[in-house]
A and B are shown apart, each in its own frame.
Chain A
Amino acid sequence: MTRYVIAPISEVPPGARKIVEVAGRSLGVFNIDGEIFALRNRCPHQGGPLCAGRLSGFLQASIPGEYVYSRPGEVLRCPWHGWEFDVRTGQSWFDPARTRVRSYEASVIPGTALPDQVNSPGLGLVQGPYVAETYPVSIEEDYIVVEMPG
Protein backbone atom coordinates (compact mmCIF):
# COMPACT_ATOMS: atom_id res chain seq x y z
CA MET A 1 0.00 0.00 0.00
CA THR A 2 1.15 3.49 -0.78
CA ARG A 3 -0.32 6.62 0.69
CA TYR A 4 -0.85 9.43 -1.79
CA VAL A 5 -1.34 13.05 -0.87
CA ILE A 6 -4.41 14.21 -2.77
CA ALA A 7 -5.24 17.80 -1.81
CA PRO A 8 -5.48 20.21 1.10
CA ILE A 9 -8.78 19.66 2.85
CA SER A 10 -9.82 23.22 2.03
CA GLU A 11 -10.06 22.20 -1.61
CA VAL A 12 -12.70 19.60 -0.86
CA PRO A 13 -15.06 21.16 1.69
CA PRO A 14 -18.08 19.24 3.03
CA GLY A 15 -20.44 18.30 0.20
CA ALA A 16 -17.71 18.73 -2.41
CA ARG A 17 -15.64 16.24 -4.39
CA LYS A 18 -12.47 16.20 -6.40
CA ILE A 19 -11.59 13.88 -9.26
CA VAL A 20 -7.89 13.10 -9.51
CA GLU A 21 -5.50 10.79 -11.37
CA VAL A 22 -3.42 8.71 -8.97
CA ALA A 23 -1.00 5.98 -10.04
CA GLY A 24 -2.69 5.71 -13.42
CA ARG A 25 -6.17 5.47 -11.96
CA SER A 26 -8.94 8.04 -11.85
CA LEU A 27 -10.39 8.50 -8.36
CA GLY A 28 -13.14 10.56 -6.84
CA VAL A 29 -12.51 11.96 -3.36
CA PHE A 30 -15.65 13.00 -1.48
CA ASN A 31 -16.16 15.01 1.69
CA ILE A 32 -19.34 14.06 3.54
CA ASP A 33 -19.74 16.26 6.59
CA GLY A 34 -16.00 16.25 7.22
CA GLU A 35 -15.47 12.56 6.54
CA ILE A 36 -13.40 11.72 3.48
CA PHE A 37 -14.10 8.83 1.10
CA ALA A 38 -12.32 7.76 -2.06
CA LEU A 39 -13.83 5.67 -4.88
CA ARG A 40 -12.53 4.47 -8.20
CA ASN A 41 -13.93 6.64 -10.98
CA ARG A 42 -15.09 3.74 -13.11
CA CYS A 43 -18.54 2.27 -12.84
CA PRO A 44 -18.65 -1.53 -12.48
CA HIS A 45 -21.62 -1.64 -14.84
CA GLN A 46 -20.33 -0.41 -18.21
CA GLY A 47 -17.37 1.71 -17.15
CA GLY A 48 -19.00 5.14 -16.96
CA PRO A 49 -17.26 8.00 -15.10
CA LEU A 50 -19.06 7.21 -11.85
CA CYS A 51 -17.50 9.88 -9.63
CA ALA A 52 -18.79 12.66 -11.89
CA GLY A 53 -22.34 11.56 -11.04
CA ARG A 54 -25.00 13.34 -9.09
CA LEU A 55 -25.03 12.99 -5.27
CA SER A 56 -28.40 12.43 -3.70
CA GLY A 57 -30.04 10.61 -0.81
CA PHE A 58 -31.60 7.20 -0.33
CA LEU A 59 -35.32 7.11 -0.98
CA GLN A 60 -37.05 4.06 0.37
CA ALA A 61 -40.67 3.05 0.87
CA SER A 62 -41.42 0.00 3.00
CA ILE A 63 -44.95 0.02 1.61
CA PRO A 64 -46.44 2.19 -1.14
CA GLY A 65 -47.05 5.70 0.15
CA GLU A 66 -44.69 5.61 3.14
CA TYR A 67 -41.43 7.20 2.21
CA VAL A 68 -38.18 7.51 4.06
CA TYR A 69 -35.62 9.87 2.58
CA SER A 70 -32.31 9.48 4.32
CA ARG A 71 -28.59 10.14 4.03
CA PRO A 72 -28.79 13.11 1.68
CA GLY A 73 -25.58 13.60 -0.28
CA GLU A 74 -24.27 10.09 0.38
CA VAL A 75 -25.55 8.28 -2.68
CA LEU A 76 -23.68 8.59 -5.93
CA ARG A 77 -25.54 8.01 -9.20
CA CYS A 78 -23.59 7.04 -12.28
CA PRO A 79 -23.90 9.64 -15.06
CA TRP A 80 -24.65 6.92 -17.61
CA HIS A 81 -27.41 4.64 -16.36
CA GLY A 82 -28.00 6.02 -12.92
CA TRP A 83 -26.92 3.03 -10.82
CA GLU A 84 -26.72 4.11 -7.17
CA PHE A 85 -23.67 3.58 -4.97
CA ASP A 86 -23.08 4.25 -1.30
CA VAL A 87 -20.22 6.75 -1.17
CA ARG A 88 -19.17 5.44 2.26
CA THR A 89 -18.65 1.83 1.14
CA GLY A 90 -18.70 1.70 -2.65
CA GLN A 91 -21.57 -0.79 -2.44
CA SER A 92 -24.33 -0.58 -5.00
CA TRP A 93 -27.81 -0.06 -3.73
CA PHE A 94 -29.46 -2.84 -5.73
CA ASP A 95 -26.86 -5.58 -5.27
CA PRO A 96 -24.63 -4.63 -2.33
CA ALA A 97 -23.10 -8.08 -1.99
CA ARG A 98 -21.80 -8.44 -5.52
CA THR A 99 -21.83 -5.07 -7.24
CA ARG A 100 -19.55 -2.49 -5.76
CA VAL A 101 -17.06 0.07 -6.88
CA ARG A 102 -13.56 -0.16 -5.46
CA SER A 103 -13.17 2.15 -2.49
CA TYR A 104 -9.89 3.23 -0.94
CA GLU A 105 -8.90 4.13 2.59
CA ALA A 106 -8.86 7.91 2.87
CA SER A 107 -7.76 10.04 5.78
CA VAL A 108 -6.81 13.57 6.72
CA ILE A 109 -3.40 14.34 8.17
CA PRO A 110 -1.83 17.61 9.31
CA GLY A 111 0.62 19.38 7.01
CA THR A 112 3.29 18.95 9.66
CA ALA A 113 3.17 15.19 9.03
CA LEU A 114 3.88 15.62 5.33
CA PRO A 115 7.30 15.25 3.78
CA ASP A 116 8.54 18.47 2.30
CA GLN A 117 7.50 18.10 -1.35
CA VAL A 118 9.53 14.95 -1.83
CA ASN A 119 8.74 11.29 -1.81
CA SER A 120 9.37 9.83 1.59
CA PRO A 121 9.38 6.05 1.41
CA GLY A 122 10.02 5.84 5.13
CA LEU A 123 6.75 7.58 5.84
CA GLY A 124 4.99 5.64 3.09
CA LEU A 125 3.82 8.95 1.68
CA VAL A 126 4.11 9.76 -1.98
CA GLN A 127 3.47 13.01 -3.74
CA GLY A 128 -0.05 12.70 -5.01
CA PRO A 129 -1.56 14.88 -7.65
CA TYR A 130 -1.67 17.66 -5.10
CA VAL A 131 2.04 18.15 -4.89
CA ALA A 132 2.41 17.40 -8.56
CA GLU A 133 0.31 20.48 -9.16
CA THR A 134 3.18 22.31 -7.43
CA TYR A 135 1.35 23.90 -4.56
CA PRO A 136 3.66 24.28 -1.61
CA VAL A 137 2.77 22.19 1.40
CA SER A 138 1.69 24.36 4.27
CA ILE A 139 2.08 23.22 7.83
CA GLU A 140 -1.08 25.12 8.78
CA GLU A 141 -3.27 23.01 6.50
CA ASP A 142 -4.64 19.48 6.81
CA TYR A 143 -4.25 17.18 3.81
CA ILE A 144 -6.30 14.38 2.28
CA VAL A 145 -4.35 11.15 1.91
CA VAL A 146 -5.53 8.04 0.06
CA GLU A 147 -4.09 4.55 0.41
CA MET A 148 -3.76 2.58 -2.79
CA PRO A 149 -1.97 -0.58 -3.80
CA GLY A 150 1.22 -0.08 -5.84
Chain B
Amino acid sequence: MTALSTRPAARDRTKLAVIDCDIHTAPATKQTLGKYMPARWRQHHETFGPRGPGGAHYPRANQDAARTDAWPPSGQPPGSDLDFLREQLLDAWGIEYGVMNPLLGAGGQLNLEYGAAHARATNDWQIAEWVDHEPRLRASIVVPYEDGSLAAAEIDRVGDNPAFVQVLLSIRTSEPLGRRKYWPMYEAAVRHDLPIGIHFGGAGGGPITGAGWPSFYIEDHAGMPTAFQSQVISMVTEGIFEHFPTLKIVLIEGGFGWLPPLMWRIDRAYTHLREEVPHLQRRPSEYIRQHFWLTTQPMEEPPAGEQFHQLLHHLDMNDRLMFATDYPHWDFDAPDQAFPTRIEPPLERAIMAENARGLYRFGQLGR
Protein backbone atom coordinates (compact mmCIF):
# COMPACT_ATOMS: atom_id res chain seq x y z
CA MET B 1 0.00 0.00 0.00
CA THR B 2 1.33 3.37 -0.92
CA ALA B 3 1.36 6.09 1.69
CA LEU B 4 -0.01 9.33 0.31
CA SER B 5 -0.15 12.68 1.93
CA THR B 6 -3.75 13.81 2.03
CA ARG B 7 -3.13 17.24 0.67
CA PRO B 8 -0.21 18.91 -1.01
CA ALA B 9 1.15 22.24 0.17
CA ALA B 10 -1.51 24.94 0.41
CA ARG B 11 -1.89 27.04 -2.69
CA ASP B 12 -2.13 30.72 -2.95
CA ARG B 13 -5.58 31.21 -1.43
CA THR B 14 -6.61 33.93 -3.78
CA LYS B 15 -6.41 31.51 -6.68
CA LEU B 16 -8.95 28.94 -7.64
CA ALA B 17 -8.24 25.32 -6.68
CA VAL B 18 -7.68 23.19 -9.78
CA ILE B 19 -8.02 19.43 -10.06
CA ASP B 20 -7.06 18.03 -13.44
CA CYS B 21 -9.03 14.92 -14.36
CA ASP B 22 -7.15 13.95 -17.52
CA ILE B 23 -3.35 13.79 -17.68
CA HIS B 24 -1.63 11.51 -20.14
CA THR B 25 1.54 10.07 -18.77
CA ALA B 26 3.68 7.91 -21.03
CA PRO B 27 6.66 5.58 -20.63
CA ALA B 28 10.10 7.02 -21.38
CA THR B 29 11.05 4.24 -23.78
CA LYS B 30 9.61 1.12 -25.36
CA GLN B 31 11.48 -0.92 -22.74
CA THR B 32 10.00 0.92 -19.75
CA LEU B 33 6.86 -1.18 -19.33
CA GLY B 34 8.79 -4.39 -19.92
CA LYS B 35 10.56 -3.78 -16.63
CA TYR B 36 7.21 -4.29 -14.91
CA MET B 37 6.44 -7.57 -16.67
CA PRO B 38 7.51 -11.08 -15.70
CA ALA B 39 10.13 -12.55 -18.05
CA ARG B 40 7.51 -14.51 -20.00
CA TRP B 41 5.60 -11.38 -20.95
CA ARG B 42 8.62 -9.12 -21.24
CA GLN B 43 9.90 -11.42 -23.95
CA HIS B 44 6.54 -11.36 -25.71
CA HIS B 45 6.40 -7.57 -25.32
CA GLU B 46 9.83 -7.18 -26.91
CA THR B 47 9.47 -9.88 -29.55
CA PHE B 48 5.88 -9.42 -30.72
CA GLY B 49 4.59 -6.27 -29.10
CA PRO B 50 1.10 -4.89 -29.17
CA ARG B 51 -1.62 -5.86 -31.61
CA GLY B 52 -5.09 -4.40 -31.48
CA PRO B 53 -7.81 -4.06 -34.08
CA GLY B 54 -6.92 -1.36 -36.62
CA GLY B 55 -8.61 1.97 -36.92
CA ALA B 56 -7.89 3.52 -33.58
CA HIS B 57 -5.26 5.78 -34.86
CA TYR B 58 -5.87 8.25 -37.61
CA PRO B 59 -2.59 10.16 -37.86
CA ARG B 60 -2.79 13.23 -35.65
CA ALA B 61 -1.67 16.63 -36.83
CA ASN B 62 1.01 16.52 -34.15
CA GLN B 63 3.40 13.75 -33.28
CA ASP B 64 2.09 11.76 -30.28
CA ALA B 65 -1.00 14.05 -30.50
CA ALA B 66 1.05 16.39 -28.30
CA ARG B 67 1.42 20.11 -27.96
CA THR B 68 4.60 20.86 -29.87
CA ASP B 69 6.07 22.52 -26.78
CA ALA B 70 5.45 19.42 -24.64
CA TRP B 71 8.61 17.59 -25.69
CA PRO B 72 10.87 17.62 -22.62
CA PRO B 73 14.48 18.82 -22.87
CA SER B 74 15.47 15.27 -21.87
CA GLY B 75 14.40 14.18 -25.37
CA GLN B 76 11.82 11.76 -23.96
CA PRO B 77 8.28 11.64 -25.33
CA PRO B 78 5.63 14.11 -24.10
CA GLY B 79 4.19 13.15 -20.73
CA SER B 80 7.09 10.85 -19.83
CA ASP B 81 9.35 13.17 -17.82
CA LEU B 82 8.08 13.86 -14.30
CA ASP B 83 10.22 16.96 -13.73
CA PHE B 84 9.04 18.51 -16.96
CA LEU B 85 5.42 17.56 -16.25
CA ARG B 86 5.73 19.28 -12.88
CA GLU B 87 7.17 22.38 -14.48
CA GLN B 88 4.84 22.62 -17.47
CA LEU B 89 1.63 21.45 -15.83
CA LEU B 90 1.44 20.90 -12.06
CA ASP B 91 3.53 23.87 -10.94
CA ALA B 92 2.66 26.15 -13.84
CA TRP B 93 -1.04 26.00 -13.01
CA GLY B 94 -0.93 25.19 -9.30
CA ILE B 95 -2.76 21.91 -9.81
CA GLU B 96 -3.81 20.38 -6.52
CA TYR B 97 -4.47 16.86 -7.77
CA GLY B 98 -4.08 15.29 -11.19
CA VAL B 99 -5.57 12.03 -12.42
CA MET B 100 -3.35 10.09 -14.81
CA ASN B 101 -5.03 8.31 -17.70
CA PRO B 102 -2.24 6.51 -19.53
CA LEU B 103 -3.40 5.42 -22.99
CA LEU B 104 -0.88 2.69 -23.67
CA GLY B 105 -3.12 0.15 -25.32
CA ALA B 106 -3.53 -2.65 -22.75
CA GLY B 107 -7.30 -2.65 -23.05
CA GLY B 108 -7.44 -3.13 -26.81
CA GLN B 109 -5.03 -6.06 -27.09
CA LEU B 110 -6.32 -8.99 -29.15
CA ASN B 111 -4.04 -11.29 -27.16
CA LEU B 112 -5.98 -11.00 -23.92
CA GLU B 113 -3.36 -12.55 -21.66
CA TYR B 114 -0.77 -10.12 -23.01
CA GLY B 115 -3.30 -7.32 -22.54
CA ALA B 116 -3.66 -8.38 -18.90
CA ALA B 117 0.14 -8.40 -18.44
CA HIS B 118 0.37 -5.01 -20.16
CA ALA B 119 -2.31 -3.63 -17.85
CA ARG B 120 -0.56 -4.95 -14.73
CA ALA B 121 2.72 -3.44 -15.91
CA THR B 122 1.05 -0.10 -16.69
CA ASN B 123 -0.54 0.00 -13.25
CA ASP B 124 2.64 -0.91 -11.36
CA TRP B 125 4.59 1.63 -13.43
CA GLN B 126 2.10 4.39 -12.56
CA ILE B 127 2.76 3.80 -8.87
CA ALA B 128 6.52 3.19 -9.01
CA GLU B 129 7.46 6.02 -11.37
CA TRP B 130 4.75 8.62 -10.75
CA VAL B 131 2.58 8.47 -7.64
CA ASP B 132 5.46 7.38 -5.39
CA HIS B 133 7.39 10.50 -6.46
CA GLU B 134 4.66 13.07 -6.81
CA PRO B 135 1.95 13.40 -4.16
CA ARG B 136 -0.30 15.45 -6.45
CA LEU B 137 -0.76 12.60 -8.94
CA ARG B 138 -3.26 9.76 -8.78
CA ALA B 139 -3.53 6.72 -11.01
CA SER B 140 -6.25 4.97 -13.02
CA ILE B 141 -6.49 1.18 -13.12
CA VAL B 142 -5.87 0.13 -16.69
CA VAL B 143 -7.65 -3.15 -17.48
CA PRO B 144 -8.00 -5.62 -20.39
CA TYR B 145 -11.61 -4.57 -20.66
CA GLU B 146 -12.63 -6.88 -23.50
CA ASP B 147 -12.49 -9.75 -21.01
CA GLY B 148 -14.69 -9.02 -18.03
CA SER B 149 -13.06 -11.50 -15.68
CA LEU B 150 -9.46 -10.57 -16.52
CA ALA B 151 -10.44 -6.94 -16.00
CA ALA B 152 -12.09 -7.79 -12.68
CA ALA B 153 -8.97 -9.68 -11.56
CA GLU B 154 -6.82 -6.60 -12.15
CA ILE B 155 -9.27 -4.37 -10.28
CA ASP B 156 -9.16 -6.83 -7.38
CA ARG B 157 -5.35 -6.92 -7.50
CA VAL B 158 -4.79 -3.18 -7.06
CA GLY B 159 -8.21 -1.72 -6.24
CA ASP B 160 -7.54 -1.22 -2.54
CA ASN B 161 -4.49 0.94 -3.14
CA PRO B 162 -5.69 4.51 -2.55
CA ALA B 163 -3.36 5.76 -5.28
CA PHE B 164 -5.90 4.41 -7.79
CA VAL B 165 -9.02 6.50 -8.07
CA GLN B 166 -10.86 4.89 -10.98
CA VAL B 167 -10.85 2.12 -13.59
CA LEU B 168 -9.94 3.27 -17.10
CA LEU B 169 -11.53 2.15 -20.39
CA SER B 170 -11.57 3.59 -23.90
CA ILE B 171 -14.85 4.64 -25.45
CA ARG B 172 -14.57 2.52 -28.61
CA THR B 173 -14.96 -1.08 -27.55
CA SER B 174 -15.77 -4.33 -29.37
CA GLU B 175 -19.32 -4.36 -28.09
CA PRO B 176 -21.51 -1.72 -26.48
CA LEU B 177 -20.47 -1.39 -22.86
CA GLY B 178 -23.83 -2.36 -21.44
CA ARG B 179 -23.39 -5.93 -22.75
CA ARG B 180 -23.06 -8.65 -20.16
CA LYS B 181 -19.51 -9.66 -21.01
CA TYR B 182 -18.40 -6.45 -19.30
CA TRP B 183 -20.43 -6.94 -16.12
CA PRO B 184 -17.78 -8.75 -14.04
CA MET B 185 -15.65 -5.62 -14.47
CA TYR B 186 -18.46 -3.40 -13.18
CA GLU B 187 -19.05 -5.75 -10.31
CA ALA B 188 -15.37 -5.47 -9.32
CA ALA B 189 -15.41 -1.69 -9.63
CA VAL B 190 -18.44 -1.52 -7.35
CA ARG B 191 -16.76 -3.93 -4.93
CA HIS B 192 -13.89 -1.45 -4.55
CA ASP B 193 -16.15 1.58 -4.86
CA LEU B 194 -14.21 2.87 -7.86
CA PRO B 195 -15.77 4.86 -10.70
CA ILE B 196 -15.31 3.63 -14.27
CA GLY B 197 -13.63 6.35 -16.36
CA ILE B 198 -14.12 6.00 -20.12
CA HIS B 199 -11.76 8.00 -22.27
CA PHE B 200 -11.89 9.25 -25.88
CA GLY B 201 -10.38 6.81 -28.38
CA GLY B 202 -9.72 3.11 -28.69
CA ALA B 203 -10.71 0.65 -31.40
CA GLY B 204 -13.07 -2.27 -31.14
CA GLY B 205 -12.70 -3.63 -34.65
CA GLY B 206 -15.73 -2.04 -36.29
CA PRO B 207 -15.66 1.11 -38.42
CA ILE B 208 -15.06 4.11 -36.19
CA THR B 209 -18.30 5.82 -37.20
CA GLY B 210 -21.81 4.48 -37.52
CA ALA B 211 -21.55 5.35 -41.22
CA GLY B 212 -18.34 3.49 -42.04
CA TRP B 213 -14.71 4.52 -42.29
CA PRO B 214 -14.14 8.27 -42.71
CA SER B 215 -11.27 9.90 -44.61
CA PHE B 216 -9.88 12.39 -42.15
CA TYR B 217 -8.63 12.75 -38.60
CA ILE B 218 -10.95 15.72 -38.16
CA GLU B 219 -13.85 13.31 -38.68
CA ASP B 220 -12.44 10.92 -36.11
CA HIS B 221 -11.98 13.78 -33.66
CA ALA B 222 -15.24 15.65 -34.23
CA GLY B 223 -17.22 12.43 -34.51
CA MET B 224 -16.01 10.87 -31.25
CA PRO B 225 -19.11 11.95 -29.30
CA THR B 226 -21.14 9.48 -31.36
CA ALA B 227 -19.22 6.66 -29.67
CA PHE B 228 -19.96 8.22 -26.28
CA GLN B 229 -23.64 8.47 -27.18
CA SER B 230 -23.88 4.81 -28.13
CA GLN B 231 -22.18 3.78 -24.90
CA VAL B 232 -24.42 5.89 -22.69
CA ILE B 233 -27.50 4.47 -24.41
CA SER B 234 -26.20 0.92 -24.07
CA MET B 235 -25.25 1.21 -20.42
CA VAL B 236 -28.62 2.67 -19.53
CA THR B 237 -30.83 0.37 -21.59
CA GLU B 238 -29.04 -2.86 -20.62
CA GLY B 239 -29.97 -2.10 -17.04
CA ILE B 240 -26.49 -2.08 -15.51
CA PHE B 241 -27.53 0.67 -13.12
CA GLU B 242 -30.35 -1.51 -11.82
CA HIS B 243 -27.85 -4.31 -11.28
CA PHE B 244 -25.12 -2.07 -9.89
CA PRO B 245 -26.93 0.81 -8.24
CA THR B 246 -23.71 2.33 -6.90
CA LEU B 247 -21.81 2.21 -10.21
CA LYS B 248 -20.37 5.57 -11.27
CA ILE B 249 -19.27 6.37 -14.81
CA VAL B 250 -16.98 9.23 -15.83
CA LEU B 251 -17.00 10.20 -19.51
CA ILE B 252 -13.59 11.68 -20.28
CA GLU B 253 -12.87 13.93 -23.25
CA GLY B 254 -16.20 13.27 -24.87
CA GLY B 255 -17.79 16.70 -24.35
CA PHE B 256 -21.31 17.07 -23.02
CA GLY B 257 -23.18 19.33 -25.46
CA TRP B 258 -24.75 16.29 -27.08
CA LEU B 259 -26.11 14.87 -23.85
CA PRO B 260 -29.27 17.00 -23.30
CA PRO B 261 -30.84 16.14 -26.68
CA LEU B 262 -29.85 12.51 -26.18
CA MET B 263 -31.76 12.53 -22.88
CA TRP B 264 -34.77 14.17 -24.54
CA ARG B 265 -34.78 11.64 -27.33
CA ILE B 266 -34.28 8.53 -25.23
CA ASP B 267 -36.85 9.60 -22.64
CA ARG B 268 -39.33 10.12 -25.46
CA ALA B 269 -38.52 6.70 -26.96
CA TYR B 270 -38.89 5.12 -23.53
CA THR B 271 -42.50 6.20 -23.33
CA HIS B 272 -43.21 4.11 -26.46
CA LEU B 273 -40.75 1.28 -26.03
CA ARG B 274 -40.63 0.70 -22.28
CA GLU B 275 -41.94 -2.81 -22.79
CA GLU B 276 -38.80 -3.78 -24.69
CA VAL B 277 -36.65 -2.89 -21.69
CA PRO B 278 -38.89 -3.74 -18.73
CA HIS B 279 -35.85 -3.95 -16.44
CA LEU B 280 -35.67 -0.16 -16.47
CA GLN B 281 -37.62 1.22 -13.53
CA ARG B 282 -37.04 4.89 -14.30
CA ARG B 283 -36.70 7.22 -17.23
CA PRO B 284 -33.31 6.89 -18.94
CA SER B 285 -32.36 10.48 -18.13
CA GLU B 286 -32.73 9.74 -14.44
CA TYR B 287 -30.09 7.01 -14.65
CA ILE B 288 -27.87 9.32 -16.62
CA ARG B 289 -28.08 12.19 -14.16
CA GLN B 290 -27.54 9.84 -11.25
CA HIS B 291 -24.68 7.69 -12.56
CA PHE B 292 -22.62 9.83 -14.94
CA TRP B 293 -19.89 12.43 -14.49
CA LEU B 294 -18.33 14.33 -17.41
CA THR B 295 -14.95 15.99 -17.89
CA THR B 296 -14.82 19.37 -19.57
CA GLN B 297 -12.10 19.14 -22.15
CA PRO B 298 -12.78 19.68 -24.99
CA MET B 299 -16.10 21.29 -24.28
CA GLU B 300 -18.52 22.35 -26.97
CA GLU B 301 -18.33 26.11 -27.32
CA PRO B 302 -21.49 27.75 -28.65
CA PRO B 303 -20.90 31.04 -30.48
CA ALA B 304 -22.55 33.20 -27.82
CA GLY B 305 -21.92 33.13 -24.08
CA GLU B 306 -25.57 32.88 -23.10
CA GLN B 307 -25.90 29.78 -25.24
CA PHE B 308 -23.28 28.09 -23.09
CA HIS B 309 -25.35 28.90 -20.01
CA GLN B 310 -28.42 27.51 -21.76
CA LEU B 311 -26.47 24.36 -22.48
CA LEU B 312 -25.55 23.96 -18.81
CA HIS B 313 -29.19 24.57 -17.94
CA HIS B 314 -30.39 21.89 -20.38
CA LEU B 315 -27.77 19.50 -19.09
CA ASP B 316 -28.72 20.11 -15.45
CA MET B 317 -25.59 18.32 -14.23
CA ASN B 318 -23.62 21.18 -12.69
CA ASP B 319 -22.47 18.89 -9.89
CA ARG B 320 -21.10 16.38 -12.42
CA LEU B 321 -18.80 18.46 -14.64
CA MET B 322 -15.11 18.14 -13.85
CA PHE B 323 -12.25 20.16 -15.27
CA ALA B 324 -9.52 18.43 -17.32
CA THR B 325 -6.53 19.69 -19.28
CA ASP B 326 -5.74 16.64 -21.46
CA TYR B 327 -2.06 17.53 -21.02
CA PRO B 328 0.18 17.02 -23.01
CA HIS B 329 -2.18 16.53 -25.92
CA TRP B 330 -2.77 19.12 -28.61
CA ASP B 331 -6.23 20.11 -27.52
CA PHE B 332 -5.07 20.90 -23.99
CA ASP B 333 -7.29 23.34 -22.04
CA ALA B 334 -5.46 25.96 -19.98
CA PRO B 335 -7.04 26.15 -16.51
CA ASP B 336 -7.49 29.93 -16.67
CA GLN B 337 -8.97 29.93 -20.17
CA ALA B 338 -11.09 26.82 -20.39
CA PHE B 339 -14.62 28.25 -20.41
CA PRO B 340 -16.01 30.03 -23.47
CA THR B 341 -17.76 32.54 -21.23
CA ARG B 342 -17.81 33.78 -17.64
CA ILE B 343 -19.10 31.29 -15.10
CA GLU B 344 -20.44 32.20 -11.67
CA PRO B 345 -17.76 31.65 -9.01
CA PRO B 346 -19.55 28.87 -7.07
CA LEU B 347 -20.08 26.88 -10.25
CA GLU B 348 -16.56 27.62 -11.41
CA ARG B 349 -15.19 26.26 -8.13
CA ALA B 350 -17.37 23.17 -8.47
CA ILE B 351 -16.21 22.44 -11.99
CA MET B 352 -12.55 23.35 -11.49
CA ALA B 353 -12.07 21.20 -8.39
CA GLU B 354 -14.91 20.42 -6.02
CA ASN B 355 -16.93 17.98 -8.14
CA ALA B 356 -13.81 15.90 -8.74
CA ARG B 357 -12.77 16.17 -5.10
CA GLY B 358 -16.13 14.72 -4.13
CA LEU B 359 -16.22 11.95 -6.71
CA TYR B 360 -12.63 10.77 -6.25
CA ARG B 361 -12.70 11.56 -2.51
CA PHE B 362 -9.42 13.40 -2.55
CA GLY B 363 -8.29 14.01 0.98
CA GLN B 364 -10.26 10.98 2.21
CA LEU B 365 -9.66 7.21 2.31
CA GLY B 366 -5.92 7.80 2.24
CA ARG B 367 -6.29 9.53 -1.12
Which residues of A line the B interface, CB within 8 A?
45-49, 52-54, 77, 79-82
Contacts and interface: CB of A to CB of B under 8 A. Distances in A.
Interface in B312-367: 330-334, 336-338
A49 B334 CA distance: 12
Contact of B69 (A46, A47, A80): A80
Contact of B68 (A45, A46, A47, A54): A54
B337 A52 contact: no
Nearest to B66: A79
19 contacts: A45-B337, A46-B332, A46-B334, A48-B67, A52-B68, A52-B69, A53-B68, A79-B67, A79-B68, A79-B69, A79-B70, A80-B67, A80-B69, A80-B332, A80-B334, A81-B331, A81-B332, A82-B61, A82-B330
Q: Which residue of A52, A53, A80 has the most chain B CB atoms within 10 A of its CB atom?
A: A80
Interface in B41-79: 61-62, 67-70
Contact of B334 (A47, A52, A77, A82): A47
Given A82-B61, A82-B62, A49 B69 contact: yes
Given A77-B68, A79-B68, A80-B332, 4 more contacts: A47-B336, A47-B337, A52-B68, A52-B69
Chain B interface mostly helix, strand, loop or mixed? loop
Interface of B: 61-62, 67-70, 330-334, 336-338
Nearest to B337: A46
Contacts of A47: 334, 336-337
A81 B337 CA distance: 13
Given A49-B69, A53-B68, A80 B337 contact: no
Residue in B68, B69, B337, B338 whose Cβ sees the most chain A Cβ within 10 Å: B68
Contacts of B338: 46
Contacts of B334: 46-48, 80
A81 B69 contact: no
Contacts of B68: 52-54, 77, 79
B18 to A, nearest CB: 14
B4 to A, nearest CB: 31
Nearest to B334: A46
